[in-house]
Amino acid sequence: MLSQLSRSLETISQKQVQSNLAAATSILAGLVLNRETIKKILRSDIMRESVIYQDILEEGREEGKEEGKEEKARQIALKMLSAGFPISEIARFTDLSPDAIEELQSRDDKKNPSE
């Protein structure tokens, strides 16, 4: 079925429509098929041109950037904790909540009990 749909997509002359339909097909196929099967059947170069695909990709990039910022804040907080800074100061500099800093401290204490 997916192979037949893929062949039908290739007959669409409007590239943008073709790209968007390929991306939508890939998303829907992902609900029932594994990633490798979808990649074998649908051309990824067509999907990459899709505005839907680009939106999803951009959203993923933004999430990744946010996760990176949060991870960096946690690393800084741990360094500040080990340097003896009070939690209130760490919260002010890292924008982490005092509860989050205490949780980091607790996890770090469990991970490094000798320190």
- DSSP string for residues in 18-34: HHHHHHHHHHHHTTTS-
- What's the mean pLDDT when you consider all of the chain? 83
pLDDT digits (tens, 9 = 90+) for 62-84: 999 999 999 999 999 999 999 99
The pLDDT of residue 115 is above 60: no
Q: Report pLDDT for 83.
A: 96
The pLDDT of residue 94 is above 80: yes
How many angstroms from the chain centroid is the CA of residue 83?
A: 32
- Could you state, in order of their start, the residue ranges of all structural domains in the chain? 1-49, 65-115
> Which amino acid is located at 101 in the chain?
I
- How far is it between the farthest Cα atoms of the chain? 67
Asked if 92 and 101 touch (Cβ cutoff 8 Å), the reply is no
Q: How far apart are CA 111 and CA 105, in angstroms?
A: 10
What would the mean pLDDT of 25-40 be, rounded to a whole number?
69
**Residue 16 pLDDT grade (very low, low, confident, very high; cuts 50, 70, 90):** confident
The pair of structure tokens assigned to 12 is 């669409």
Q: Is 9 helix (H, G, I), strand (E, B) or coil?
A: helix
Asked if 26 and 38 touch (Cβ cutoff 8 Å), the reply is yes
Asked if 56 and 79 touch (Cβ cutoff 8 Å), the reply is no
The pLDDT of residue 61 is above 80: yes
Give me the percent of the chain exceeding a pLDDT of 70: 80
Q: Report pLDDT for 114.
A: 62
